[in-house]
Amino acid sequence: MNLPLTLDAYQYELPERCIAQVPAARRDESRLMVLDRAAATLRHDRFHRIGAYFRPGDVLVVNDARVIPARFFAHRKTGGRVEGFVLDGWQESDCRRVLLKPARRIRVGEILELADEYTMRIADRNGQTFIAEITPPGKWTPFLSAHGLMPLPPYIKRGDQDHRVSMDASMDRERYQTIYAQEPGAVAAPTAGLHFTHDLLQQLRDGGIETASITLWVGWGTFKPLTCQRIDHHVMEKEIYSISAKTAEILTRAKTENRRIIAVGTTTTRALESWANRDTDRGEVFQGEASLFIVPGYSFKMIDALVTNFHLPGSTLLMLVSALAGRETILDAYRAAVEHDYRFYSYGDAMLII
């Protein structure tokens, strides 16, 4: 099979008007594009009717990671302001990997001032990332809780363009979080899950849909851009995931009984496929590392269908959905989404691939 391996093969034109800046008025009022692979059809609907495309016995798997306020600001001794972003939100350590901007003049050993007399020392640097040690020791979590901002993607504009987020961010703190978020540590939202409400999930359960959760703490790897033209040269950053005994039992039984497993989001997909690719018994409960780069040609072992948002051109997420549905099919669907004024990216509309 001649697989498309160049970055150019995963580009598409997107008018700026299609990039969602705010969420839908109600989570489940987002639009829903249904891509049926077997029938080769597209259907346009609303998310609250997604249950019409499920079957009794399907297993819907969500990522219950909770987004932390990972974006912060610091000041150099010279007075210059630095924007920071914690990359490893799940870690409990004095030293964290961070992105800093502007980064060019920052040196190893430099001490930056944070709010409320917190400081951080630059302990090391590795390419784009820094290792930053906070003082007082052990205070990253309380510092971010008090002064951190929700890590909205840069294409979502919030007033002050330097901040890219609103200092009055109550809406984002609520809506850039799934209603079932439990495990803190993600530095980006598993956005496909933003469309679900408690009522909708209950409706699905009442209709015979089984639900289960995993945790993948979304990190830098999810949105790190590709910098090489050949996609097979790209290396995914490792992200930590966890699968409980209960979820493992549900998934194993569903596969044995030939019932569909529907992943909510690409993060859930990577966790499930990483778990399925382990050499150990699938029923084992463990915390593992997901570094799987899913591109066309990949043979899915766990998921049968996917709820997802519309992804950035040239992104690893676009490649993942192309692996499931086919690159040309996905790009055709994206062109149709633009023609029908769908909203794209994190706060945008949804796609169901069945």
Write down the pLDDT at residue 247. 95
Write down the pLDDT at residue 162. 41
Structural domains in the chain, sorted by start: 7-67+176-353 (3.40.1780.10), 71-148 (2.40.10.240)
Write down the pLDDT at residue 88. 80
**Residue of higher predicted confidence among 226 and 180:** 180
pTM here is 0.92
Write down the pLDDT at residue 154. 87
Write down the pLDDT at residue 138. 81
Asked if residue 284 has pLDDT above 60, the reply is no
Asked if residue 74 has pLDDT above 70, the reply is yes
- pLDDT tens by residue, 84-140: 999 887 777 788 999 999 998 899 999 999 999 899 999 999 877 999 999 998 889
| pLDDT category of residue 280 using cuts at 50, 70 and 90 | low
Three-class secondary structure assignment of the chain: CCCCCEHHHHCCCCCHHHECCCCCCCHHHCEEEEEECCCCEEEEEEHHHHHHHCCCCCEEEEECEEECCCEEEEECCCCCEEEEEECCCCCCCCEEEEEEECCCCCCCCCEEECHHHCEEEEEEEECCEEEEEEECCCCHHHHHHHHCECCCCCCCCCCCCCCCCCCCCHHHHHHCCCCCCCEEEECCCCHHHHHCCHHHHHHHHHCCCEEEEEEECCCHHHHCCCCCCEHHHCCCCCEEEEECHHHHHHHHHHHHCCCCEEEECHHHHHHHHHHHCCCCCCCCCEEEEECCCCCCCCCCCCCCEEEEECCCCCCHHHHHHHHHHCHHHHHHHHHHHHHCCCCECCCCCEEEEC
Asked if residue 234 has pLDDT above 60, the reply is yes
Write down the pLDDT at residue 238. 87
| pLDDT category of residue 281 using cuts at 50, 70 and 90 | low
- pLDDT tens by residue, 160-210: 544 444 444 678 989 999 999 999 999 999 999 999 999 999 999 999 999
Write down the pLDDT at residue 319. 96
